[in-house]
Structure 1
């Protein structure tokens, strides 16, 4: 996975939050939540609000949520592997390899489209976390169906 640029991301989060507060807009976490898939943790939203203008704390929020979502994805993947027939296991493994390749290529595309500015870094990182969450949600749906059989 792509290496985080935590300080640039945290700085951008801080600037966005300050601008939103100055304009009387919603909190940083509310803004993120309005675009987030189900499964992004309450811990992340609380962390983002606590971080306020502390760039190191904001960077930690992003890093921690990435780890939580990645761990969640891996747990769903392992659980699903344990429920599938040999043929379905092979299909899952191939699908995950393709998804990882997509994740890598999509990150490269976003980096080239958004550029290398701090605002771009936050968008690319947020998108990556959201895609991991969405994939974990999809594997959870498959796991639900596998448990019915």
Structure 2
């Protein structure tokens, strides 16, 4: 009888330990959807916000600034490495991307609606788009740097 009770307690402790390990951080779902290049500070901010919408909005706003600055740096770096037709094409491409970005944001705002959670989703998608574009420009910088 003592052996059974000891086994049951051991299994219960193991189950509890597994459950604790399975607890998901607030940033885990965001991290799964995020492109490469999102800062670790953003994920830490999301974890600290712990689903508080105002705090999450502040995290998104701060990371949007980080990604916007990164995008601008990548664009300026690439612009400085190009000349002639390639430079003209980059400028035209960036203008087209900005128009696409604005139209995508407008569409998403319409589709998601105006609830607070919807606004957070639109802000996150906006920030992810900036990160993805910076990633693309960084790839182009690497291409022209290797030549």
**What is the TM-score normalised by the length of structure 2?**
0.81
Distance 1:63 1:114 in 2: 18
Cα deviation, residue 87, structure 1: 1.1
The residue that corresponds to 2:144 in the other structure is 146
Distance 2:44 2:58 in 1: 12
The residue that corresponds to 2:92 in the other structure is 94
Distance 2:115 2:87 in 1: 41
Structure 2 unaligned spans of 5+: 1-21
Q: Give the RMSD, CA atoms, in angstroms.
A: 1.4
Distance 2:124 2:47 in 1: 16
Distance 1:107 1:57 in 2: 22
Distance 1:147 1:67 in 2: 26
Distance 1:117 1:59 in 2: 13
The residue that corresponds to 1:134 in the other structure is 132
- 8 Å CA contact 2:39–2:63 kept in 1: the answer is yes
Distance 1:82 1:104 in 2: 25
Which region of structure 1 is more displaced relative to structure 2, 54-63 or 100-109?
54-63
Distance 1:87 1:49 in 2: 46
- 8 Å CA contact 2:26–2:51 kept in 1: the answer is no
Is residue 2:125 matched to residue 1:118?
no
Is residue 2:83 matched to residue 1:85?
yes
Q: Structure 1's 53 and 115: CA in aligned 2 closer, same or farther, altered over 3 A?
A: closer
Looking at CA atoms only, which structure, 1 or 2, has the larger radius of gyration? 2
Distance 1:85 1:46 in 2: 40
Structure 1 unaligned spans of 5+: 1-23
Cα deviation, residue 52, structure 1: 2.1
